[in-house]
A and B are shown apart, each in its own frame.
Chain A
């Protein structure tokens, strides 16, 4: 999904990725739909705006995804993984709502056939407001999708224009209402810190978002990614630079408004009823990421697919579409856990810190200055420490 893929080792010739750790985690699936109608100026996700790329068409791309699903099942079985039903399934993008419900259904059928679904499976689909009509939601609900994540970003038309979003913010309410009526859970994605976004504009955005009755909100701070149109606009002075200090204030505003509206904070960028799928990432569970550029993690094996849909399709036809694999050792696994779990409200078990060799005298100063707290044998950030997680992790690992 990121702009550049990390360097890794080649996919093993054996086609096997045996488990590297003993404990058996839950199993999840991510499906990447690499298409968008239009490329937003700030976005560096792995997505393409053409309907046809070479011999590849959006309308049949689900077939490639299904090929990868078939292959994955064999690899896991041969590698000695116990058969596990899926706990969550997430269609992300790109814009998954560009796929027809029929395409979604075929993918789900394949996954269900190979792996099975747990009864309480969470199936989320990322949708953009402009391609998420109530009718479409109804079709999705009918094929089994039960959660919708809507890319709203802002309710301020000016901010939406800066971000080059093409949807009408007034459409969001009706979509959410329809979702609720269909029994779909919902979530909103917001972005704060767009150039020229005022504190007031942001406050309105979060207030509207909080009033819409959704059970979950993600609020991300805008990252100016190198190579994007936004980066260029800022460089030539067409748009002002983003401001970290203002972002900090906006985070506090969001937090205050969401908490007051029954959406408790649970991760750096997330409020409300925790998404089970996100927890799989943060908790180093097992997941297979299907599709171009998608990342997978299976018991210490981290690998990622080649990014371009066409080369993905070609490589898939000849074997594995994996571009690189990384084998996580025990120590790295612990460091990853610290890096991820300290972002959550639950925090990280003190046991893990002990295993990392992080001693009390390293932790104490953070407890004393009020950025960390110890609760139920876990170390977690306080309200004051939330915005410094990266710095705290670095210091815990290096002090």
Chain B
């Protein structure tokens, strides 16, 4: 990262537009709206950096890598989680343009962010890492862009890398979207090479918006974010007409009227404007405090001259995995509720409802878009709200029908109904896996053990293969991706989409500590895997649970049948019997450390269970539980 900056300075970068066009007074034919889409880590945000610099809206000395990744968690993990829209001035053939660029996330959990951004654009820069080639989210995002009728501009990035295979991948890209390999621009987001040409190409190729400037205002909400200082900030793409500050606006779905307190564009900080007009992208502030009152997908119009027809909205993101979130200290429950309420203000995809666990007390069953989303939300809850939490192993949603025809929707394995079961249906996904051809066999084995059915297989280039599988979501949600990565030396990539429900031969495996069922450890697995699962979880817990003053038997059971057992032997001694002389401070520091450690323990009955055991026990990560026990 540090090196990045010095190399930028080696290239001459200067703003090309002498004056920016004034928002709300810009002709639509001078506007270009595009987003940057790619597989994760192919360099979208870094390319966006160069655009910010080249167009002069961020000065060199204020530049930092991935400027638009503003959240701490984005910066720490080096990934984009939220889309960011920025207005850039650009000049071509003595004509000034306003470009709206949207940097999007690449991770599959945040695909819904991409689809929202696409609806605000007429074009998409499809970025491909020239050292990696086409990967699963390249395809997924390309298809999304095509469904939205966007002009696709293919671009190979990172051509500065010694490992770049520019020609080969240009050909692959051409095969994929048609046209010649020469149509594919070659850039480096790192050095800035080719970025000017790219901006020119965007002006030339992306169609200008064609809204009706005289029609009643219609603006599509594509993002809505809660900000503790400013309340809800709503990002819109103006389709028709115009909005001006101090106007009364109306949400078309609810007919709710709000005063427009502030309107503006992001460039790359908020810039207040007089208004926004058809074709433009910008933000609105109305003083509402809850994003649900300014909902993504809704259409904004004015109270005085309301539009008749609202714009087509977006499908709401649907949670794919559920996990129970519990405070370690039960008295934190109200704080957890408050924290979730606050987080939901900026993340409408987060859903939750209260639940109770015999083992863990009061908590919430939360729905997430995927495991990364789960990880990020729990991390933000802990960090931003100073909570110490337990997350139970993620589960998908099952549809269970009993012999008596009562139906159950099971988001929590411990709520799996008792009694005779007629059928259990589980969610299925259609997975697309891309990989060099050498790994096809390995991938097929992996999908096989995960109960997959192959749909088809197809070559995308001379050695790149696309495999499509139908797989139970439960089989891939947890560690499938890690397995895929390690079995393909990092070359395999995965994308998936929902594909309905199918019956499966599924059973609930319970876990018992000291003979008592611990609901938080229950899981639903395929019948043939129950034994393996039981053995794995009991032996993992034997490693994870520290020795207590008494023996702790651990058993796994299906119904009343015990399928695996282990035990944690009682500890016989827990006292430091060394001569420490007068060094009391050292001994006290040790005690302080133990106190901290204890905060990460949850009492389950009489047994102290480490906070992370609830996830680790069910993960296949072999390195977990390395703490040695004798």
Residues of A within 8 A of B (CB): 1-2, 6, 8, 30, 92, 189, 218-221, 223, 241, 243-245, 247-249, 251, 268-269, 281, 284, 287, 289, 294-297, 302, 304, 326, 332, 335-336, 339-340, 343, 386-391, 393-394, 397-398
Contacts and interface: CB of A to CB of B under 8 A. Distances in A.
A220 B549 CA distance: 22
Contacts of A6: 585-586, 589
Given A336-B588, A394-B598, A287 B582 contact: yes
A388 B549 contact: yes
A284 B588 CA distance: 13
A33 to B, nearest CB: 13
A302 B573 CA distance: 29
A340 B584 contact: yes
Given A243-B630, A302-B584, A221 B578 contact: yes
A394 B588 contact: no
Interface residues of B, number: 26
Contacts of A388: 549, 573-575
A386 B574 CA distance: 9
A2 B587 CA distance: 10
A339 B587 contact: yes
A174 B566 CA distance: 53
B16 to A, nearest CB: 54
Contacts of B580: 1-2
B584 A394 contact: no
B576 interface: yes
B605 to A, nearest CB: 14
Interface string B576-612: 1111111111111101001100100000000000000
A390 to B, nearest CB: 5
Nearest to B599: A398
A287 B583 CA distance: 12
A268 B580 CA distance: 12
Give the top 8 A-B pairs by smallest Cβ distance, nearest first: A248-B572, A295-B582, A248-B573, A391-B574, A387-B573, A389-B575, A269-B577, A221-B577
29 contacts: A1-B581, A2-B580, A6-B589, A30-B582, A220-B579, A221-B573, A243-B630, A244-B572, A247-B573, A249-B572, A268-B575, A269-B578, A284-B584, A287-B582, A295-B581, A295-B583, A297-B582, A297-B584, A302-B584, A336-B588, A339-B591, A340-B587, A388-B573, A388-B575, A389-B575, A390-B574, A390-B576, A391-B571, A394-B594
Contacts of A249: 572
Nearest to A332: B588
Task: Name A's interface SS.
Answer: mixed
A391 B573 CA distance: 9
Contacts of A332: 588
Nearest to A365: B606
Interface of B: 549, 569, 571-589, 591, 594-595, 598, 630
A335 B588 contact: yes
Contacts of A223: 576, 578
A63 to B, nearest CB: 23
Contacts of B575: 268, 343, 386-391
B159 to A, nearest CB: 47
A281 B587 CA distance: 12
A336 B630 contact: no
Contacts of A335: 588, 591
Contacts of A241: 630
Contacts, number: 106
Contacts of B583: 1-2, 295, 304
Contacts of A220: 577-579
B286 to A, nearest CB: 48
A397 B585 contact: no
A149 B573 CA distance: 26
B595 A397 contact: yes
A291 B581 CA distance: 14
A386 B576 CA distance: 11
Contacts of B572: 244-245, 248-249, 387
A241 B628 CA distance: 11
B573 A244 contact: yes
A2 B586 contact: yes
A336 B584 contact: yes
A394 B591 contact: yes
B582 A296 contact: yes
A304 B577 CA distance: 22
A302 B595 CA distance: 21
A8 to B, nearest CB: 7
A289 B584 CA distance: 12
B594 A390 contact: yes
A79 B586 CA distance: 26
Nearest to B591: A339
Contacts of A326: 585
Contacts of B582: 1, 30, 281, 287, 289, 294-297
B598 A295 contact: no
A71 B576 CA distance: 34
A332 to B, nearest CB: 7
Contacts of B630: 241, 243-245
Contacts of A389: 574-575
A219 B578 CA distance: 8
A397 B574 CA distance: 16
Nearest to B601: A398
Residue of B569, B572, B576, B594 with most partner-chain A CB within 10 A: B572
Contacts of A340: 584, 587
Nearest to A249: B572
Contacts of A302: 584-585
Contacts of A391: 549, 571, 574-575
A268 B575 CA distance: 8
Contacts of B594: 390, 394
A17 to B, nearest CB: 15
B585 A304 contact: yes
A387 B581 contact: no
Contacts of A251: 573, 577
Contacts of A343: 575
Contacts of A387: 572-575
A85 B243 CA distance: 88
A296 B583 CA distance: 8
Residue of B569, B581, B588, B598 with most partner-chain A CB within 10 A: B581
A370 to B, nearest CB: 11
Given A243-B630, A251-B577, A281-B584, A393 B571 contact: no
